[in-house]
């Protein structure tokens, strides 16, 4: 009975924590994936505590693996980002778990209400602490588009300093990091170009600090949809360049959105 109660408490707490993580990193997670990830995280965590209660080193190692796998299940992140976001989830767990325990010891209420209250309090504290650092939040957009017959869903940052245009058509160019591209395709775009497996290829010249010039491979995207709260902007065609350099230090976004696509969208 104790195992079941502990499992249910942890299941709900992890689900709330994943929703907090989704909000913090601006990455949309599907409900069924949060549901599955929270069940996995709760069950594996409870099982580890039951089986390896005395072996603290092994218990810690298995708990770390459990957290990483929970994050990966929630949104199919690449392993590098799964590790990074696992640290975020661990910190969230420490804060929400601590608050939950503190409230539970002082107030007699159903644990579901206490779990909800603790997560809401952590969210409030996060907003209060980082509201000055988070002024760029309005520049994040959810994007959907199709390239090479596959539909991609990414979080994009509106880059007002992006002045890249496709040389022939003069279409504005968005930049997608290669790590995200590889979540959907089995190999990098330049490899696909070499094997003539890609169509609608463009080469985009660019200049950057510390380098005189360079060329980025790009591909034509179809049916682009840009979403910001209740506003939806659609474009039939767009150009997406692939960058080998990670675009966001903390993984907050995966794509740089060209400002013209917001100004001239419908």
Terminal alpha carbon distance of the chain: 56
Tens digit of each residue's pLDDT (9 = 90 or more) over 110-162: 555 555 655 565 555 555 544 444 545 678 899 999 999 999 999 899 998 88
More confident residue, 168 or 98: 168
Beta bridge partners of residue 154, listed in sequence order: 143
Closest CA to 69 of 18, 104, 1: 18
Mean pLDDT of 170-189: 91
**Dist CA 10 CA 21 (whole Å):** 16
Alpha-carbon distance of 263 to 90, in angstroms, equals: 40
**What's the mean per-residue pLDDT of the chain?**
79
* CA–centroid distance for 85 within its chain: 8
pLDDT digits (tens, 9 = 90+) for 226-239: 998 888 999 999 99
CB 14 within 8 A of CB 61: no
Is the pLDDT higher at 176 or at 17? 176
Query: Residue 175: is its pLDDT beyond 50?
Result: yes
> Looking at the predicted structure, is the pLDDT value of residue 212 above 90?
no
The residue-averaged pLDDT of 168-194 equals 90
pLDDT given for residue 129 in this prediction: 47
Map tokens 């990193």 to a residue.
Answer: 25
Q: For the domain made up of 136-263, give the CATH fold.
A: Cathepsin D, subunit A; domain 1 (2.40.70)
Tell me what the mean pLDDT of segment 238-263 comes to.
88
The residues, ordered by sequence, that sit 6+ positions from 2 with a Cβ below 8 Å of its Cβ are none
Q: What is the pLDDT of residue 211?
A: 57
Residue 48: both structure tokens together:
């580890």
pLDDT in tens, 65-110: 888 888 888 877 777 777 888 888 888 777 666 555 555 555 555 5
- Domain extent listing, the chain: 2-130, 136-263
* Cα dihedral 187→190→191→195 (10° resolution): 130
How far apart (Å, rounded) are the C-alpha atoms in residues 19 and 74? 10
- How confident is the model at residue 223, as a pLDDT? 95
pLDDT of residue 113: 59
DSSP annotation string for 157-195: EE-TT---B-TTT--BEEEEEHHHHHHHSSS-HHHHHHT
Distances in Å between the Cα of 121 and the Cα atoms of 125, 128, 247 are 6, 11, 31
Mean pLDDT, rounded, for 13-30: 78
């Amino acid at each position: 009975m104790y195992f079941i109660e502990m499992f249910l408490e942890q299941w709900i707490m992890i689900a709330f924590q994943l929703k907090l993580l989704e909000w913090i990193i601006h990455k949309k997670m599907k409900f069924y994936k949060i549901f599955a990830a929270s069940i996995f995280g709760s069950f594996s965590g409870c099982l580890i505590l039951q089986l390896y209660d005395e072996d603290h080193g092994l218990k810690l190692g298995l708990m770390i693996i459990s957290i990483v796998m929970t994050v990966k299940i929630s949104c199919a992140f690449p392993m590098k980002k799964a590790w990074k976001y696992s640290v975020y989830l661990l910190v969230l767990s420490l804060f929400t778990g601590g608050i939950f325990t503190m409230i539970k010891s002082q107030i007699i209420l159903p644990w579901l209400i206490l779990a909800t209250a603790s997560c809401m309090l952590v969210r409030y504290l996060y907003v209060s602490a980082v509201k000055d650092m988070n002024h760029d939040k309005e520049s994040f957009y959810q994007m959907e588009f199709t390239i090479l017959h596959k539909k991609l869903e990414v979080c994009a940052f509106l880059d007002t300093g992006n002045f890249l245009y496709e040389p022939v058509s003069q279409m504005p160019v968005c930049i997608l990091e290669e790590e995200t591209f590889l979540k959907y395709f089995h190999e990098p775009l330049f490899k696909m170009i070499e094997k003539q497996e890609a169509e609608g290829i463009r080469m985009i010249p660019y200049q950057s600090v510390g380098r005189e010039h360079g060329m980025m491979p790009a591909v034509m995207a179809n049916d682009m949809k840009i979403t910001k709260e209740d506003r939806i902007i659609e474009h039939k065609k767009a150009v997406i360049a692939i960058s080998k350099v990670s675009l966001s230090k903390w993984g907050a976004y995966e794509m740089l959105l060209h400002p013209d696509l917001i100004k001239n969208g419908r």
